[in-house]
Structures are given as C-alpha cells and as structure tokens.
C-alpha cells in the first residue's frame, strides 16, 4: 500500500491493560523517546510520534525528567490518562501524517468488565496492548493469580470483538525482559503461561502478536535515561494492521501472524448487559483452559532462578 497517497489520516483508540507497576507508562514514554527526532543525532529519523497537546508533552517531559533526576522509573499511574499522538513520516515530498491514535493508559483496578467506563472503552477502541510482567512470570509463582485477572479482562474484550465483528488487534507485551535471561527454558515458561489466552484468541480467530520489551535505565554522559531500542515495535505493528498498511518498520517488526482479521464493520449492541453475559461465558471457558496452570506450577517450582542481566530494573 502506498502511504504517500493524499488521504485523510485515520484516528485509532488503543487500550492498555495490565496491573499497576507492570510498565505501561514507561513503555509509552520509551516508544515516544525511541521515535522522537531528537533521538537521532544525524537527523535521519524518517518515522516518529508527534504530539501537539501541551499537557501530554508536559507529562512525557515529567517522566523523562523524573528518570534523569532520580535514576528511577516513575510511580504507577493512579488515574486514567489519555495521550493523543500522530504518527508521521518523512517523504521526499514532505512530511506525511500516517495516522492519529489515542492511548488510554488505564490503572489496573479500572480494568473491570463491570465498570461502565471500561465497557464504553471497549466499544470505542480499535486495539489493545496487554502488558504482562515477564520477570514476575518467570520468578514469582504467585504471579499466576494476577494473570488470571488479566486473562479474564482480555477474554471479555476478545468475546465482544468476536460477537460484534469488530476489526481489532491485540499486542501481548512482555515487560521487564532485561531482568531475565531469555533462553529456551524461560521462553518455554512464558509460552506455557500465555497458553490459556492464546488458545482463546486462536479459538476466536483474532489477530494478535507477542512482543518482548526491555527498557532499562542507562547512564549516558552522567545523565540517566530510558534505553528504548525496538520499544515502539508493538505500537507500529498495531497501527500498521489497523491502518491497512505495509509494516512501518520492516526491519524491526515481526511478520504479522497468520490470523484472519475481522471485517471493519462494527455492530453496536442493543443492550450493554450483553458484555456481562459474554464475560461470564468466556470466564467459564478460561477456567477450563487454566487447568494448564496446575501442571505448570510444578514445572516452575523446579526451575532455577535467573539473575538480572542488567544493573537497573526495567519496565
């Protein structure tokens, strides 16, 4: 698809879900930092996120300044925060706006299917970033109980997407990967733990992709900052899919999964209580699939712990 054709840019809304402290805000800040023109000293940045909202710019600057001042990550989000961005690219003919997107950074406790605001967000969103703490997944057997809540949230969204034939995509983002050694053993643990939700998404034939995210804090010239190499890949993959375009950074993005995408026609439910019914059905199915966890507990308990591979904790 030729993105240079002059068309009105589409606008997408993306949900971000995951428990507090999993690294959602750091992920967004890292993605913005990676693609910001200032990140390339040679001025060769051809694709970047732009933001004209002064409040959003101020929030992102606060995150950057907090890291530089404290050498620590920002505290967890305590309220729903909207960030509005444009994805722009440099062409020979000038700068083009590929698409616009709104990021809903939602506190974990708000991701409840009984929450009317969360219900409304499902019907007005186009994609979802699902954040899972890879370090806790490998090192903390109690984290499985947290995952059950996250999987139920994803299942609720997926069921609504399927029932109402929505064009949608899920990015499964495993955070804090620089705190673990990604080898065949840890990847097998991660894949096993993700199996319930992947099985459900496959059952509904929905589009999704898995990403490993590592955004450590590093010190360069005496200044602490986020090191975000490849951090923007999940967002670029989501936007590429939703925008019906070629992958925006072919060298950074994995191949799109061979799932059949749904049509773009969205049917509005006549009764929002349908969500609760769908949620109940999906929870029953997930409960059956979650039996995998029982067998996996013994596997995790016999797995040696991995030492962090960097000096800083990551998100």
Query: pLDDT 10s digit of each residue in the chain, 315 long?
Result: 343 444 688 999 999 888 888 888 888 888 888 887 665 555 556 788 888 778 877 888 888 889 999 999 888 765 656 788 888 888 888 888 889 998 887 666 666 667 777 778 888 899 999 999 999 999 998 888 888 888 888 888 888 888 888 889 999 999 999 888 888 888 888 998 898 889 999 999 999 999 999 998 999 888 888 888 788 899 999 998 888 755 554 343 434 333 332 222 333 344 545 555 555 555 555 554 444 444 445 444 444 444 444 334 445
Q: How far is CA 114 from the centre of its chain?
A: 22
- Rounded Cα distance, 59 and 29, in Å: 9
Work out the angle at residue 308's Cα, subtended by the Cα atoms of residues 198 and 175, and round it to the nearest 5 degrees: 30
Distance CA 55, CA 62 (A): 10
142's CB contacts (< 8 A; 6+ apart) are: none
Q: What is the DSSP string of 279-294?
A: HHHHHHHHHHHTHHHH
Q: Give the closest residue to 15 by CA, choosing from 146, 119, 136, 162.
A: 119
Give the number of C-alpha atoms closer than 13 A to the C-alpha of residue 112, restricted to the C-beta side.
6
Angle 132-133-138 (CA atoms, 0-180°, nearest 5)? 115
Percentages helix, strand, coil for the chain (3-state, rounded to 5) are 40, 20, 40
C-beta atoms surrounding 96 within 10 Å: 16
Predicted local distance difference test score (pLDDT) of residue 202: 93
Per the listing, tokens 């360069």 go with 220
d(CA 244, CA 251): 18
pLDDT at 259: 34
Helix (H) or strand (E) holding 171: strand 169-175
Topology annotation, domain 10-301: Rossmann fold (3.40.50)
- Joined together, the tokens standing for residue 296 give 């996996």
Q: 255 with 202: CB under 8 angstroms?
A: no
Q: Is residue 9 a contact partner of residue 99, using CB atoms and an 8 Å limit?
A: yes
Q: Mapping DSSP to helix (H, G, I), strand (E, B) and coil, where does residue 229 land? A: coil
Q: How many CB atoms lie within 10 A of CB 110?
A: 15
Please name which of 17, 26, 38 lies closest in space to residue 125, comparing C-alpha atoms: 17
Whose CA is closest to 73, among 128, 133, 13? Answer: 133
Residue 170: beta bridge partners? 128, 208
- How many residues does this entry show for the chain? 315
- 273 three-class SS: coil
Q: What phi and psi values does residue 190 have, to the nearest 5 degrees?
A: -65, -45
- Least Cα distance to 278 among 122, 155, 147 occurs for 155
Please report the pLDDT score of residue 296 as a whole number.
45
């Amino acid at each position: 698809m030729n993105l240079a054709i002059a068309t009105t840019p589409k606008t997408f809304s993306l949900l971000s879900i995951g428990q507090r402290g999993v690294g959602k805000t750091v992920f967004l800040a890292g993605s913005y930092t990676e693609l910001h023109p200032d990140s390339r000293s040679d001025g060769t940045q051809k694709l970047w996120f732009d933001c004209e909202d002064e409040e959003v710019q101020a929030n992102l600057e606060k995150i950057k300044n907090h890291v530089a001042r404290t050498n620590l990550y920002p505290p967890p989000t305590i309220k729903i925060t909207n960030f509005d961005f444009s994805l722009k690219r440099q062409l020979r003919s000038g700068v083009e706006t590929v698409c616009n997107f709104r990021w809903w950074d939602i506190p974990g406790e708000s991701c409840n299917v009984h929450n009317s605001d969360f219900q409304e967000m499902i019907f007005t969103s186009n994609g979802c970033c699902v954040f899972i703490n890879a370090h806790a997944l490998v090192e903390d057997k109690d984290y499985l109980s947290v995952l059950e809540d996250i999987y139920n949230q994803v299942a609720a969204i997926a069921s609504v997407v399927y029932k109402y034939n929505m064009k949608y995509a899920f990015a499964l983002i495993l955070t804090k990967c620089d705190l673990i050694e990604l080898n065949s053993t840890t990847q097998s643990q991660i894949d096993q733990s993700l199996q319930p939700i992947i099985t459900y998404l496959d059952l509904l034939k929905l589009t999704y992709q898995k990403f490993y995210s590592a955004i450590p804090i590093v010190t360069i010239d005496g200044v602490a900052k986020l090191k975000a190499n490849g951090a923007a890949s999940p967002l670029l993959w989501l936007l590429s899919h939703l925008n019906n375009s070629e992958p925006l950074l072919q060298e950074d993005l994995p191949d799109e999964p061979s799932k059949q995408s749904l049509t773009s026609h969205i049917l509005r439910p006549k009764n929002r209580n349908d969500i609760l019914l769908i949620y109940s059905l999906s929870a029953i199915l997930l409960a059956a699939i979650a039996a995998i966890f029982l067998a996996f507990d013994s596997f995790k308990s016999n797995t040696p712990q991995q030492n962090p591979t960097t000096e800083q904790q990551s998100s």
